Amino acid sequence: MTTVVGVQLGRRSTSALHPSAAQSTSLTNSRICNTHRAGPLNVTSGCTNTVTDGLPRYSRVVSTSKQLTDLTTKIEQQTTKIDGLIETIQDLTMSFKSFTEPFNSFTKSFQSFEWNVKIHISFKSLHMNFIVQIQGSQTTSRQNAKTRKE
């Protein structure tokens, strides 16, 4: 059977998609009823009560469906923005790694040094000068262990 859904306010319309299964929809008081023509008889069936806002149920479904579609679109837009942020963070992380790589190799090359740092402070005409003297002596980890045991 072919079903056609439509609302005509104040009058009745008959669809002629198929002569034996035509349907009209009418709005009466607070009900929507579908009238099917079955041969010489008109059969009213499938009445739907309207909801509190005066809209038929299927109108609410269409409205809710549009709201869900809009919400889905907004979620997709936010997801795209989040994906962009994640890519930016990943790019920054990679940039930071490539920036710190020389320092990491520098630090690794001097891991076997012991450092003595002396800071001398002198006052000259209201200016404070810091002089940092760094003295390094290279030792191996075996020598460090021996020195600690003694």
102-135, pLDDT tens digit by residue?
A: 777 777 766 655 555 555 555 555 454 445 555 5
Neighbours of 24 (CB within 10 A): 19
Choose among 36, 33, 39, 32: nearest CA to 23: 36
- Give yes or no: residues 130 and 99 share one domain: no
Q: How far is CA 83 from the centre of its chain?
A: 8
User: What φ, ψ does residue 109 adopt, rounded to 5°?
Assistant: -70, -20
The C-alpha angle with vertex 94 and arms to 90 and 95, in degrees rounded to 5, equals 115
Enter the tokens of residue 94.
């990679």
Q: How many domains does the chain have?
A: 3
Is this structure's pTM higher than 0.85? no
Enter the tokens of residue 103.
């320092």
Residue 125's domain spans which residues?
A: 113-149
- Give yes or no: residues 75 and 40 share one domain: no
Enter the tokens of residue 66.
């549009």
- Give yes or no: residues 119 and 94 share one domain: no
37-83, pLDDT tens digit by residue?
A: 555 555 555 555 554 455 555 555 667 778 888 888 999 999 998 88
